[in-house]
Copies of this chain bind each other. A is one copy, B any other.
Amino acid sequence: MSAALPPLPKPEETVGEPELLQLGPPGDEPCLRADAARNRARLLDAAARLIAEHGVTAVTMEAVAAAANVGKGTVFRRFGDRTGLLNALLDHSERKFQAAFLTGPPPLGPGAPPVERLRAFGIAVLRRSVGELDLQLAAEPGADRRFLVPVRRLHQGHLALLLRQAAPDADGDLLAHTLMGSLNPVLIHHLTRQCGMSLERLEAAWNDLVDRVTRG
């Protein structure tokens, strides 16, 4: 019965091949019909406006649909679910970041020794997060999808790559997950807003962590 379902066009990015490092979700709006593309833009615009005016909690699927003069179903068809919409909102910033650490100048981009790139990566993530914290928190998917988000896998893969260079005798993949955990937006939120820690302290701890983990 579940095998006979219609194609179900799979909203947005097609998860991309997970094996190779590649620049981001390839196409967000590759071959959309004219009206679909127009509505997509309207929706993102409306969502951004809602956030700017009333905070991320005001981004209700119905509210954004109404603000975009679009049906509710359209929002879900395009973005899958609420976290999909929110992640799409983060896409711009994410693209820039990806470009920076994949092809940009050192120490974030290629050219610097791996330990320095690891340091720079964490610092960059931390600094980027403080500006978008509310959005990043709300954009976190449920437990069973959290680690399947393409963006996350890319970051994780990048860290694993650098770690395999900087600490060849370690389990790079798992170590990468550990490091990712220290950059988790929810943790940042807790430490900075619920514990009142300074960003400097987090940055120092990250650098120290990278040192400890990579020195053999």
Contact = CB atoms under 8 A, between A and B. Distances in A.
A204 B169 CA distance: 12
Contacts of A35: none
* Copies in the assembly, this chain: 2
A58 interface: no
| Chain A interface bracket (under 10, 10 to 19, 20 to 34, 35 or more) | 35 or more
Interface string A199-213: 001101100110011
A147 B186 contact: yes
Interface of A: 137-138, 140, 143-144, 146-148, 167, 170-171, 174-175, 177-182, 184, 186-187, 189-191, 194, 201-202, 204-205, 208-209, 212-213, 215-216
Given A146-B190, A148-B194, A171-B205, 16 more contacts: A138-B143, A146-B186, A147-B186, A147-B194, A170-B208, A170-B212, A171-B204, A174-B191, A174-B205, A175-B209, A178-B178, A178-B181, A178-B209, A180-B181, A181-B181, A209-B213
